[in-house]
């Protein structure tokens, strides 16, 4: 495994090469600095200060440096800690300036694109010369969006590399507060809290998702303009997920380092699918003053949680699905967003996935039915039935699934949690791309999804 110095030298973004954290100089300074005694109460723990910087900004109250505010960890730190603070602030200012500039450029180009779409709507059937002119202007705008996407990919890479370097330095410093040592910490041993805190300290309240959403909106309008004025005027209705659908799926692993690059390419062909109403970036007023820091609520993904059921002794459902036996099925519960334990009326989806082999001429399918959270525990145990199970379009599915769980002595064995970004046209689901990151797995279900009234 290459050390951080070599990684930064070989993998740095060329146009930002001189803006990176001065890792080697900081490492030399850290190794030369005498470690604090483990009994030294005033020793600075950089993890706490990075967390504080992420929460309140890179500068403390009234502009005071965050190491000198007497905040978490106390103490002003030695020369390394002071230099590290200055580097974090420099990186943060660079990222803030660069991302806000990218946001303003995107706003301006979206305003031009909106003007072009209004010309097309007002002009109706244009002459061949006018159509060529519109096509040329559209090509220029699309090239500008491509350049914005490429710049975003580079900035995300720059951020990720500097987060890793700063987190590694901070953890090495904090470890030296407890015991002496000068060896460089392997990157794979950098702990999650340090990476999280470093990202928060460098990025602050800014987020890159609004830029992805804005580019997605821009490319979607580009495709409508490339179609015709009729398609532009008659925007398609919002797609509603069906309770049952057939599908053909292909799944691939994607390296975390390639996530932003993948998003930047996917939105050129399919928009990010967001449920619910929202104002797209191409629909806003060109005279509205908006900054990236104000777009904190905009996200290109949502939390998705699934709980899978199986018989715990022999895992028959797991092995059937692994072998892809015809008719192999699995039951899971799924909900979107955070699970509100104090909200018994929250919707939980009961889903059954069935695999069909090609020789049967049938397609694999998924069925699902919504029930309220208050009924989940009794329903899965076979001791109760939600209203939807007694009558309505989902009654048969819910009865079949409950029988399957009870007869098969199935219990919740695996929980998956991730943020899902969906790329799909708003009017249909003929083609859909789902990107799940970061995926986390756990055993069983949280509190067995017991009704909130029980206090479980």
| Biggest distance spanned by C-alpha atoms of the chain | 82
What is the helix (H) or strand (E) element at residue 414, kind and residue range? strand 411-424
pLDDT tens by residue, 143-158? 999 999 999 999 999 9
User: What tokens were used for 54?
Assistant: 């992420």
Is the model's pLDDT at 445 over the cut of 70?
no
179-188, 229-238, 305-314: least confidently modelled range: 229-238
pLDDT tens by residue, 7-62? 888 999 999 999 999 999 999 999 888 766 544 434 568 999 899 888 865 444 43
Q: Which residues contact 280 (CB under 8 A, 6 or more apart)?
A: 217, 220
Q: Tell which residue, 206, 210, 205, 208, has the closest CA to residue 281.
A: 210
What is the helix (H) or strand (E) element at residue 331, kind and residue range? strand 329-336
The count of C-alpha atoms lying within 13 angstroms of the C-alpha of 310, restricted to the half-sphere facing its C-beta, is 20
The count of C-alpha atoms lying within 13 angstroms of the C-alpha of 161, restricted to the half-sphere facing its C-beta, is 26
The pLDDT-based confidence of 180 (bands split at 50, 70, 90) is low
Is the model's pLDDT at 332 over the cut of 80?
yes
User: How far, in Å, CA of 266 to CA of 149, rounded?
Assistant: 11
33-37, 83-87, 294-298, 433-437: least confidently modelled range: 33-37
pLDDT of residue 131: 65
Q: Coil, strand or helix: which one is 305?
A: strand
Alpha-carbon dihedral sign for residues 30, 33, 34, 37 = negative
Alpha-carbon dihedral sign for residues 25, 55, 197, 256 = negative
pLDDT of residue 75: 47
Is the model's pLDDT at 128 over the cut of 80?
no
C-alpha triplet 417, 407, 413: angle, nearest 5°: 20
pLDDT tens by residue, 196-252? 999 999 999 899 999 999 999 999 999 988 876 445 555 555 566 677 767 778 899
pLDDT of residue 74: 42
Average pLDDT over residues 426-430: 82
Cβ burial of 248 (10 Å; 0-12, 13-18, 19+) is exposed
pLDDT of residue 244: 74
The count of C-alpha atoms lying within 13 angstroms of the C-alpha of 60, restricted to the half-sphere facing its C-beta, is 15
Virtual CA dihedral for 444, 450, 454, 456, nearest 10 degrees? 20
User: What tokens were used for 112?
Assistant: 């031009």
Average pLDDT over residues 185-198: 89
């Amino acid at each position: 495994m290459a050390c951080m110095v070599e990684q930064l030298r070989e993998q740095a973004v060329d146009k930002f090469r001189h803006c990176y954290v001065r890792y080697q100089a900081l490492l030399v300074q850290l190794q030369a600095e005498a470690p604090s005694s483990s009994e030294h109460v005033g020793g600075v723990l950089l993890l706490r200060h990075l967390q504080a910087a992420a929460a309140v900004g890179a500068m403390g109250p009234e502009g005071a440096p965050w190491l000198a505010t007497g905040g978490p960890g106390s103490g002003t730190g030695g020369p390394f800690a002071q230099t590290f603070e200055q580097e974090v602030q420099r990186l943060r200012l660079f990222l803030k300036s660069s991302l806000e500039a990218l946001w303003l450029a995107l706003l301006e180009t979206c305003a031009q694109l909106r003007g072009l779409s209004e010309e097309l709507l007002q002009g109706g059937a244009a002459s061949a010369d006018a159509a060529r002119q519109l096509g040329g202007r559209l090509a220029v705008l699309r090239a500008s969006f491509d350049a914005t996407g490429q710049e975003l990919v580079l900035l995300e890479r720059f951020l990720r590399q500097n987060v890793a370097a700063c987190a590694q330095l901070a953890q090495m410093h904090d470890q030296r507060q407890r015991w002496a040592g000068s060896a460089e910490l392997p990157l794979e041993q950098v702990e999650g809290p340090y990476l999280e805190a470093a990202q928060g300290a460098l990025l602050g309240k800014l987020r890159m998702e609004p830029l992805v959403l804005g580019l997605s909106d821009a490319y979607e309008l580009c495709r409508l303009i490339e179609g015709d004025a009729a398609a532009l005027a008659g925007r398609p209705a919002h797609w509603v997920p069906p309770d049952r659908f057939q599908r053909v799926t292909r799944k691939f692993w994607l390296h975390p380092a390639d996530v932003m690059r993948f998003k930047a390419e996917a939105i050129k062909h399919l928009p990010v699918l967001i449920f619910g109403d929202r104002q797209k970036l191409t629909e806003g007023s060109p005279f509205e003053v908006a900054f990236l820091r104000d777009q904190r609520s905009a996200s290109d993904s949502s939390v998705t949680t699934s709980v899978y059921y199986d018989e715990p002794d022999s895992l028959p459902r797991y092995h059937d699905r692994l072998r892809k036996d015809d008719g192999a099925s699995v039951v899971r519960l799924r909900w979107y967003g955070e699970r509100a334990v104090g909200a018994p009326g929250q919707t939980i989806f009961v889903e059954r996935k069935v695999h069909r082999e090609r020789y049967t001429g049938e397609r694999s399918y998924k069925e699902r039915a919504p029930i309220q959270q208050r009924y989940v525990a009794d329903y899965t145990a076979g001791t109760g039935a939600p209203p939807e199970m007694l009558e309505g379009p989902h009654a048969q599915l819910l009865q079949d699934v409950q029988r399957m769980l009870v007869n098969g002595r199935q219990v919740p064995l695996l929980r998956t949690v991730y943020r899902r970004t969906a790329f799909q046209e708003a009017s249909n689901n003929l083609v859909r791309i789902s990107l799940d990151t970061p995926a986390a797995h756990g055993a069983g279900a949280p509190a067995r999804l017991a009704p909130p009234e029980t206090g479980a």
